[in-house]
Amino acid sequence: MQFKEIINSPFFGNIVGLISLVVGIVSLIWTIFTYRMTKKIENKLRESQAKAINTLRFKEYRAEARKTLTIRREAVKKADEISENICTDLILICCKLLGYKHDILPEDLIEIEELYKRAKRLLQEKEATRQQGAIEFIEITSGILTILEKGEYDL
């Protein structure tokens, strides 16, 4: 048989067609695999970006909360009584800190939640004894400041 006859034979054409089909199927599978991997990477990138933004916001808010709590604590120390606005500020700070679940250690979140409950109770009972409330307010703010001043959150 000559080379021309082999190339023109139906058997050779079927083999070339089968090889083309296999190459096409492998290419399709590879394309689908690559597409899925690309989507996974994009999703992980979005998650990482969101986490980085939340961490950045936490660091910014952390500095702001520390400053506000320090000012409020000193004001209560001087006045030796608390006001509704100061208690409300404390509760808002606690609520906002509880929103940073991924940035704050779980044991610190539990402690912040307990301090939040105490602050809420303090606001409800503020009329009972303003002086005793001032002492509890100072304890609560000191507890939150201790958490916010941990070195782990500087990283």
Q: DSSP string of 30-73? A: HHHHHHHHHHHHHHHHHHHHHHHHHHHHHHHHHHHHHHHHHHHH
DSSP designation for 71: H
Write down the domain spans for the chain. Answer: 3-154
pLDDT score at 71: 92
pLDDT along the chain (155 residues), means of 10: 74 89 96 96 94 90 92 88 84 92 90 91 69 80 88 73
pLDDT score at 43: 95
Give the 3-state secondary structure of residue 61.
helix
Tokens of 20: 């083309």
